[in-house]
Structure 1
Amino acid sequence: MKVDLLIIGAGPAGLAAALAAAPSGAGIAVIDDNPAPGGQIWRDGPQAHLPERARTLRQALAEAGNVQVFSGSRVVALAGARRLLLEGAERGWTLAYDKLILCTGARELLLPFPGWTLPGVTGAGGLQALIKGGLPVAGERVVIAGSGPLLLAGAATARSAGATVLRIAEQASFLALAGFSARLLRWPGKAMQAMELLDAGYRASSHVLAALGRERLEAVRLQQGNRVVEIACDRLACGFGLIPNTQLGELLGCRVEQGAIAVDDWQACSLEDHFAAGECTGFGGSELALVEGAIAGHAAVGNRDLARALWPQRRHWQGFAEALARGFALDPKLKALAQPDTLVCRCEDVAFAELANRRDWTEAKLHSRCGMGACQGRVCGAAGQFLFGWTPPAPRPPLSPARIETLRCLEPEG
Structure 2
Amino acid sequence: MKQERLSVDVAIVGAGPAGLSAARAAAKSGATVAIVDDNPRAGGQIWRQAATAAPTSAAAERLAILRQPNVTHLAATRIVAETQPGTLLLEDDERGLLLDYRTLILCCGARELLLPFPGWTLPGVTGAGGLQALIKYGLDVRGQRTVIAGSGPLLLASAATARQAGARVSHVLEQAAWGDVAGFGAGLWRWPSKLAQAAKLVTAVYRPDAHVVEAFGDKRLERVRIRHGDREFDVDCDRLACGFGLVPNTVLPSHLGCRIENGAVAVDAHQRTSRDGHFAAGECTGVGGSELAMVEGEIAGYAATGQTAPLAALVARRAHWQAFADSVRERFAIREPIRRLARPDTLLCRCEDVRFDTVAREPGWTAAKLQSRCGMGACQGRVCGAAAQALFGWTPPVPRTPLVPARVGTLMLDGAASCDGA
Q: Shorter chain as normaliser: what TM range? A: over 0.9
Residue among 53, 57, 75 paired with 1:52: 57
By how many angstroms is 1:245 displaced? 0.3
Question: Which residue matches 1:5?
Answer: 10
Give the Cα separation in 2 of the matches to 1:183 and 1:135: 36
Verify: 1:33 aligned to 2:70, yes or no. no
Q: Note if contact 1:33-1:74 (Cα within 8 Å) is conserved in structure 2.
A: yes
Give the AA of the match of 2:197: Q
Verify: 1:407 aligned to 2:411, yes or no. yes
Matches within 5 A, 1:208-219: 208-219=212-223
Aligned residues: 412
Q: Note if contact 1:345-1:370 (Cα within 8 Å) is conserved in structure 2.
A: yes
Give the Cα separation in 1 of the matches to 2:397 and 2:168: 39
Larger mean Cα displacement after TM superposition, 24-33 or 360-369: 360-369
- Once the two structures are superposed, residues 338-395 of structure 1 have per-residue CA deviations (whole angstroms, 9 ceiling, x without a partner) of 0111000111110011122222122222211111112221111111112222212432
Residue among 110, 118, 121 paired with 1:117: 121
Seen in structure 2, the aligned counterparts of structure 1 residues 37 and 345 have a Cα distance that, compared at 3 Å, is: same
TM-score, L = length of structure 1: 0.97
Q: Note if contact 1:48-1:132 (Cα within 8 Å) is conserved in structure 2.
A: no
Aligned to 2:47, the other structure's residue is in SS state coil
Seen in structure 2, the aligned counterparts of structure 1 residues 405 and 45 have a Cα distance that, compared at 3 Å, is: farther
Seen in structure 2, the aligned counterparts of structure 1 residues 410 and 110 have a Cα distance that, compared at 3 Å, is: farther
Aligned to 1:310, the other structure's residue is in SS state helix
Question: Which residue matches 1:14?
Answer: 19
Seen in structure 2, the aligned counterparts of structure 1 residues 290 and 412 have a Cα distance that, compared at 3 Å, is: closer
Residue among 359, 364, 385 paired with 1:360: 364
By how many angstroms is 1:76 displaced? 1.2
Question: Which residue matches 2:273?
Answer: 269
Q: Alignment identity in percent?
A: 59
Give the Cα separation in 2 of the matches to 1:279 and 1:177: 22
Verify: 1:382 aligned to 2:386, yes or no. yes
Matches within 5 A, 1:282-361: 282-361=286-365
Q: Note if contact 1:206-1:223 (Cα within 8 Å) is conserved in structure 2.
A: yes
Seen in structure 2, the aligned counterparts of structure 1 residues 62 and 353 have a Cα distance that, compared at 3 Å, is: closer
Residue among 139, 152, 156 paired with 1:148: 152
Larger mean Cα displacement after TM superposition, 47-56 or 82-91: 47-56
Give the AA of the match of 2:159: A
Give the Cα separation in 2 of the matches to 1:117 and 1:49: 34
Q: Note if contact 2:149-2:174 (Cα within 8 Å) is conserved in structure 1.
A: yes
Give the Cα separation in 1 of the matches to 2:199 and 2:54: 20
- Once the two structures are superposed, residues 52-72 of structure 1 have per-residue CA deviations (whole angstroms, 9 ceiling, x without a partner) of 21122112x133211111111
Verify: 1:135 aligned to 2:110, yes or no. no
Question: Which residue matches 1:84?
Answer: 88
* Alpha-carbon RMSD: 1.3
Verify: 1:181 aligned to 2:185, yes or no. yes
Q: Note if contact 1:295-1:308 (Cα within 8 Å) is conserved in structure 2.
A: no
By how many angstroms is 1:208 displaced? 1.2
Seen in structure 2, the aligned counterparts of structure 1 residues 47 and 203 have a Cα distance that, compared at 3 Å, is: farther
Give the AA of the match of 2:255: L
Seen in structure 2, the aligned counterparts of structure 1 residues 289 and 92 have a Cα distance that, compared at 3 Å, is: same
Matches within 5 A, 1:230-269: 230-269=234-273
By how many angstroms is 1:48 displaced? 4.9
TM-score, L = length of structure 2: 0.95
Give the Cα separation in 1 of the matches to 2:397 and 2:228: 34
Question: Which residue matches 2:3?
Answer: none
By how many angstroms is 1:206 displaced? 0.5
Aligned to 2:383, the other structure's residue is in SS state helix
Seen in structure 2, the aligned counterparts of structure 1 residues 27 and 49 have a Cα distance that, compared at 3 Å, is: closer
Instruction: Name stretches of at least 5 consecutive residues in structure 2 with no aligned partner.
Output: 1-5, 418-422
Aligned to 1:84, the other structure's residue is in SS state strand
Instruction: Name stretches of at least 5 consecutive residues in structure 1 with no aligned partner.
Output: none
- Once the two structures are superposed, residues 134-184 of structure 1 have per-residue CA deviations (whole angstroms, 9 ceiling, x without a partner) of 011111111010001111000000000011101001000000011111111
By how many angstroms is 1:102 displaced? 0.2
Give the Cα separation in 1 of the matches to 2:194 and 2:32: 36
Aligned to 2:412, the other structure's residue is in SS state helix
Q: Note if contact 2:83-2:416 (Cα within 8 Å) is conserved in structure 1.
A: no
By how many angstroms is 1:306 displaced? 1.5
Question: Which residue matches 1:392?
Answer: 396
Give the Cα separation in 1 of the matches to 2:49 and 2:402: 27
